[in-house]
Amino acid sequence: MEKGIFFAMKSKSQDNSFRADPIFSDYPSNRRDFADKLAEGILDSFHFPIKFVQDRGKRLYDFLNTSWVGMYLVSSKFRDVLLENNVTGWCSYDIELYDKKGEPVLGYYGFAVNGRVGETTFSEDTLIERRIVPTGPLCSFYIGKFFDINLWDGSEIFLSPNSREIYCTKRVADLLTETKCTHLYFEDITEIQVAKFLVS
């Protein structure tokens, strides 16, 4: 797979960033299933708006983490950039977002990805060894994530069934970077390093 075509969309690690927790009172039976369906855009069984409450952090950005891996909230600005440029493979849903004092935080939406691709794979040909810390043992890492392009549905934002990472095209990465949407960055999927023990 060539470089510069597909990217992983990632949130930045900033300790002061606002993070929210979804309220599960209406969906008590299987919380992981609840979170996965929201993140994957399988929204038919939900009643909107979904309530979220501040979990930690204070500073608001355009791309917010929640307490569940793969579930994100986005600002009106982020949403508008995607809508105005006809980006495919995603949808938003209505939420009610509150801070720790119970005051509403306006201008945010739930972000769901309904674009799809086949399973992410790794190549033994890309294995390298390096130390995570200077005095630590050598560890094996794969360089690059790969998927069968024939199993990609053509959406500009998409998910793989064996990863919670969000993928996107270069156009999307450029749009969100050029419009200065905050608290996210993009990594070329051919350059992502993954520890072998996490895959094997």
Q: How many CA atoms within 13 Å lie on the side-chain side of 95?
A: 30
Q: Give residue 196's pLDDT.
A: 86
CB neighbourhood size of 22 (10 A): 22
Domain annotation covers residue 1: no
Domain annotation covers residue 34: yes
Domain annotation covers residue 107: yes
Domain annotation covers residue 72: yes
pLDDT tens, residue by residue, 139-165 = 998 899 999 999 999 999 999 998 889
Q: Give residue 27's pLDDT.
A: 63
Domain annotation covers residue 143: yes
Domain annotation covers residue 114: yes
Q: Give residue 199's pLDDT.
A: 81
CB of 86 closer than 8 Å to CB of 98: no
Q: Give residue 24's pLDDT.
A: 75
Sign of CA dihedral 13, 33, 114, 80: negative
Range of the domain at 35: 6-199
| Count: domains in the chain | 1
Domain annotation covers residue 49: yes
* pLDDT average, residue stretch 191-198: 88
pLDDT tens, residue by residue, 54-100 = 999 999 999 999 999 899 999 999 999 999 999 999 999 999 999 99
User: What average pLDDT is seen over the chain?
Assistant: 92
Q: Give residue 31's pLDDT.
A: 80
